[in-house]
Amino acid sequence: MTKYIWTALTAVAIVVAAVVAIIGISPVWTIAAAAVALLSLAMLVRSLMLPLRTIRNGMDLLRGQDFASTLRKVGQSDADEMVELYNALIGNMKAERLKNIEQADFLGKLIDASPMGIAICDFDGRIIEANSSFRRMETATVAAALDSLAPGQNVTVRQGDPQVLRCICGYFMDRGFRRTFYMVERLTDEVIKAETAVFNKIVRTMSHEVNNTMGGVVSVLETLADIHAAEPDVRQTLDSCVESCKALGEFMSGYSSVVKLPDASLKPVMPADMVAGELPFLQKLCPANINIVVECRGATETVLADSALMHRVFTNAVKNAVESIGTRPGRIVLSVEGRRVEIADNGPGISSADAGALFTPFFSTKHPDRGLGLMLIADIMRKHKAEFGLATGEDGITRLSLVFPPASAVVNTDCQEGN
């Protein structure tokens, strides 16, 4: 409203000054009228400039992204109206920005605390952000699987440890363009439960059918062998059939022993003492061409373990190493460090094709074989709630790594070494 008043006053003053000058009244009145016109014009210009200056100040604050500062009223209605509008707009923007910052901070903490690995790529598909879970699960195998995925696809990955991972590729819109993100999810528990349930059902069914059938067959064969005792050829054939039936029964007993594996009775034990106590027995499993030693690397912790079940783990691990080395000169090293026990051998190693199927039911790299060794190790270590893995390193050494849950004490111990 002010600018309209000053516009009218200016117009009136100009008209008055013109009339006074035309009719020839005293020059004093002409000068006074002109002065009033100039003053009104100056006030009109000021009333027009204040809103423009207010707009310029607001633009400067927006350009500098200063959402904390507000504009002050200047006493001019039009300018003050613009100040009120600007301050309200800035208040809303400040609240929205704070909300976005808090949501982004919460989302960042949620992603970082998530057990699922999450990684975000730039517009060129390169990973630029990732949470700690993704970094822990990121391996060459996982990276290769992720590179092979297009948005919307997923793939299940097995590595040289008991973990089963599902790799997922997706995208989100950022400033109108697609940005890729990856998720890596552990499926280990679900897959293991499903595999174990199927394995147990198969073994129980097979054992029932085989034992029932073989019991009657063996009885008939032994009766026939007695009847044909005077015929050496027939008796030898029948005895061979009986041995084959018994071998089949023992074959099924091996699987049944895994199904009926007892729960672990965990007690505090020193890994170094446990390994050293197994050494004399393990030495007998190794032929003359293989040297087996135990190494202790400084302090070892007291852990929770079932020594009876661990005897089966060490036995199967060393048997696998011996079979892997074969007849060439070999070396098996049982090393202890902290809560970790490693069984390393210089056999031919594990191929990348076989690495994904390790610890799964019925899988074996040795033919013919039942595939029980690694599966038994996996079941026992799960009962210990321990971490474990099997892989061949870049140095060509294959290592079975066992990491036990901790007990309270940490002490030093000396390890025995045998040849």
Pairing of strands 290-305, 330-338: parallel
In a domain, 194, yes or no: yes
3-state secondary structure of 170: strand
How many helices (H) and strands (E) in the chain?
A: 11, 12
Q: Indicate the residue among 186, 215, 238 that finishes a domain.
A: 186
- CATH number of the domain residue 131 falls in: 3.30.450
Helices (H), ranges, 24-139? 27-63, 77-113, 132-137
Model pTM score: 0.52
Q: How many CB atoms lie within 10 A of CB 1?
A: 9
In a domain, 106, yes or no: no
Asked if 83 and 59 touch (Cβ cutoff 8 Å), the reply is no
3-state secondary structure of 278: helix
Q: pLDDT category, 67, cuts 50, 70, 90?
A: low
- The pLDDT assigned to 214 comes to 74
My answer on whether 302 and 397 are in the same domain is yes
In a domain, 253, yes or no: yes
Asked if 61 and 69 touch (Cβ cutoff 8 Å), the reply is yes
Measure the CA–CA gap between 402 and 137, rounded to whole angstroms. Answer: 18
In a domain, 399, yes or no: yes
Measure the CA–CA gap between 55 and 82, rounded to whole angstroms. Answer: 8
My answer on whether 254 and 283 are in the same domain is no
> Is residue 212 over pLDDT 50?
yes
- CATH number of the domain residue 369 falls in: 3.30.565.10
Give the torsion sign (CA, 201, 204, 208, 209). Answer: positive
In a domain, 151, yes or no: yes
My answer on whether 285 and 383 are in the same domain is yes
Q: Indicate the residue among 238, 259, 280 that finishes a domain.
A: 259
Measure the CA–CA gap between 325 and 346, rounded to whole angstroms. Answer: 7
- The pLDDT assigned to 121 comes to 92
My answer on whether 6 and 96 are in the same domain is yes
DSSP at 150? P
My answer on whether 50 and 141 are in the same domain is no
- The pLDDT assigned to 290 comes to 92
In a domain, 107, yes or no: no
CA angle 135, 141, 146 (to 5 degrees): 75
> Is residue 181 over pLDDT 90?
yes
CA angle 264, 370, 208 (to 5 degrees): 75
For residue 143, give its domain range.
114-186
- Between 365 and 221, whose confidence is greater? 221
> Is residue 338 over pLDDT 90?
no
In a domain, 418, yes or no: no
- The pLDDT assigned to 414 comes to 47
403 closest CA partner among 282, 313, 293: 313
- The pLDDT assigned to 412 comes to 45
pLDDT tens digit sequence for 186-198 = 876 666 666 666 6
Cα torsion for 60, 63, 64, 70, to the nearest 10°?
50
My answer on whether 167 and 221 are in the same domain is no
My answer on whether 145 and 244 are in the same domain is no
pLDDT tens digit sequence for 86-101 = 778 878 888 888 888 8
- Between 356 and 153, whose confidence is greater? 153
* Amino acid making up residue 120: I
My answer on whether 173 and 236 are in the same domain is no
> Is residue 176 over pLDDT 80?
yes
When divided into structural domains, the chain yields a total of: 4
My answer on whether 276 and 404 are in the same domain is yes
In a domain, 351, yes or no: yes
My answer on whether 230 and 242 are in the same domain is yes
Tokens read off for 174: 């950022």
Q: Considering the chain, what percentage of its residues have pLDDT values greater than 70?
A: 68
Q: What is the mean pLDDT of the chain?
A: 78
Measure the CA–CA gap between 132 and 288, rounded to whole angstroms. Answer: 47
Q: Indicate the residue among 259, 289, 305 that finishes a domain.
A: 259
Give the torsion sign (CA, 282, 283, 289, 292). Answer: positive
My answer on whether 346 and 249 are in the same domain is no
Measure the CA–CA gap between 387 and 303, rounded to whole angstroms. Answer: 13
pLDDT tens digit sequence for 228-283 = 777 888 778 888 888 888 777 766 666 666 656 677 888 888 898 899 999 999 99
My answer on whether 52 and 131 are in the same domain is no
